[in-house]
Amino acid sequence: MIATLTEIAAHIFDTYGVRVGTTVTDEFQYLYDDEARIGTADYRGHAYFWAHEYRHWMRGFYQTHGATENRVGVVLKQMRRSVHRDFLRLGLDLVGESKQHETIIRYHHLTATKKMEAQHG
C-alpha cells in the first residue's frame, strides 16, 4: 500500500510527536507557553510544576491499559490540571511536599488510572 504524504506526516506525529515541517523550537512552544501559566487557572497540563518527590505519579502512566499514546496524553493532562487546580484551591505550595499534597496526587492518579482501565480494560 502506498501512503500519502499526509498519512506519513500523521504517522510521524503519532509515533514521535513531531510535526513534519516544524522546528523543534516550534514543537515545544506549547510547553514554554504553559510554563508561564503555572499558578494560574489557565494552566493546561503540559509543564511540570510539582515537587521531585511526586515525579513518578505526575509524569505519566507506565501501564497504558491498551490505550493509544494520544489518549494517555489527554488523561495525563486532565490529571495534572486537576492536581494543579486543587493545590491552588487549597492554597498549597505547588512544589511543596506534605501528606496533603500526596493525598491529592494519589487520588487524581487513581481516578485517571480507573478512567484508562474503564475505556481500554
For the stretch 31-47, pLDDT in tens is 888 899 999 999 999 88
- pTM, two decimals, is 0.74
| Contacts of residue 6, Cβ cutoff 8 Å, sequence gap at least 6 | none
Q: Per-residue confidence at 75, pLDDT binned at 50, 70, 90?
A: confident
Percent of the chain with pLDDT over 70: 69
Poorest-pLDDT segment among 6-10, 62-66, 79-83: 62-66
What percentage of the chain exceeds 90 in pLDDT?
Answer: 43
Residue pLDDT, tens place only, 82-97: 999 999 999 999 999 9
Cell numbers placing 21: 515541517
CB atoms near residue 61 (< 10 Å)? 16
Q: Which of 90, 116, 118 is nearest to 103 (CA)?
A: 90
What is the residue extent of each domain of the chain?
A: 36-120
